[in-house]
Amino acid sequence: MIEYLVIHSTGTEKNHVPEKQEYNLSVSCDIIHFNGQLSRYKAEQSEHPSDASNYKHIAYIGGKLDGNESDTATWKQYDTLEHIVMYHLLYNQNLKICKSSFFFEEYLGINLNRWLLDIGVNPKNIM
């Protein structure tokens, strides 16, 4: 059962469609594209502790604007992310949701805590 849902950005520029090699990710995760579609990114080799089966990693493409951290997520990316979050909360009411900076030296771009509260996630589920 998934205990932690970790939200990432790929750390790429707004409206830039990166190749998989350009994703700034060190763990395998689901990728949310600009149009809201999902794909799977498999990291070459990850020994990070959060790569265990009780962690789920989700990343949206974007996260930078003119080289700086910024909220570049499209409404379709937010919509898909909301569906993923609510789906996992439905099956595990004790799920903890956190931004990637809890485990990695990377930044998300969006204010995750505020967004989670805005969509109705219980504060007990937010790290």
What is the pLDDT, as a whole number, of residue 43?
83
Listed in sequence order, the residues at least 6 apart from 97 whose beta carbon sits closer than 8 Å to its beta carbon are: 4, 5, 7, 85, 112, 116, 121, 125, 126, 127
For residue 70, which of 119, 16, 8, 11 has the smallest C-alpha distance?
A: 11
Specify the 3-state DSSP secondary structure of 50: helix
33-83 residue pLDDT tens: 999 999 999 888 776 777 678 899 999 999 889 988 889 999 999 999 999
How far apart, in whole angstroms, are the C-alpha atoms of residue 115 and residue 89? 15
- CATH class in words for 4-125: alpha beta
Could you give the percent of the chain with pLDDT greater than 70? 98
pTM of the model: 0.89
Could you give the percent of the chain with pLDDT greater than 90? 57
How far apart, in whole angstroms, are the C-alpha atoms of residue 97 and residue 44? 25
| Across 17-34, average pLDDT | 85
